[in-house]
Amino acid sequence: MRKYVINSSLLLSVIAVIISCQNQETIDLHNYMSNGKDIYKAKCQNCHGENGEGLGQLAPPLTDSVFLKTNRDRLACIIKNGANESFIINGKEYKEKMPAFPELADIDVAQVMVYITNSFGNKQGFVPYAQVSKNLQNCK
Amino acid sequence: MNKIISSVAICLLSITILSSCQQDKKLPFYGERHAETVKDAAGVEKIDTVYQTIPNWSFLNQDSVVTTNKATDGKVYVADFFFTSCTTICPTMHRNLMTVYKEFNTNPDVMFVSHTIDFKYDRPYVLKKYAQKLGVDGSKWLFLYGSKDSVYTLAEKNYLVAVGEDSTAKDGYIHQGYLVLIDKDRRIRGAYDGTKEDQVEQLRKDIPVLLAEYKK
Q: B216 and chain A: CB distance < 8 Å anywhere?
A: no
ipTM over 0.90: no
- Domain extents in chain A: 23-137
CATH architecture classification, A23-137: Orthogonal Bundle (1.10)
Question: A91 in helix, strand or coil?
Answer: coil
**Secondary structure of B132-143 in HEC code, one letter for each residue:** HHHCCCCCCEEE
Could you say which residues of chain B have pLDDT below 50? 22
Question: Given this model, what pLDDT does residue A11 score?
Answer: 84
Bridge partners of B213?
none
Question: Given this model, what pLDDT does residue A23 score?
Answer: 79
Mean pLDDT over residues A91-120, rounded? Answer: 97
Looking at CA atoms only, how far is residue B64 from chain A in angstroms?
21
For B8, other C-beta atoms within 10 Å of its C-beta total 10
Whole-structure pTM value: 0.86
pLDDT over 70 percentage in chain A: 98
**pLDDT of A66 strictly over 70:** yes
| pLDDT tens, position by position, A20-47 | 666 788 889 999 999 999 999 999 999 9
Spatial separation of the C-alpha atoms in residues A54 and A70, rounded to whole Å = 19
Question: Given this model, what pLDDT does residue A18 score?
Answer: 72
Q: Is A32 left (phi over 0), alpha (psi -120 to 50) or beta?
A: alpha
- Domain extents in chain B: 55-213
Q: B196 and chain A: CB distance < 8 Å anywhere?
A: no
Residue A51 near residue A67 (C-beta atoms within 8 A): no
CATH number of B55-213: 3.40.30.10
**pLDDT of A1 strictly over 70:** yes
Question: Given this model, what pLDDT does residue B24 score?
Answer: 65
- Planar angle of CA A9, A11, A13, nearest 5 degrees: 70
Question: Given this model, what pLDDT does residue B170 score?
Answer: 86
Q: B89 and chain A: CB distance < 8 Å anywhere?
A: yes
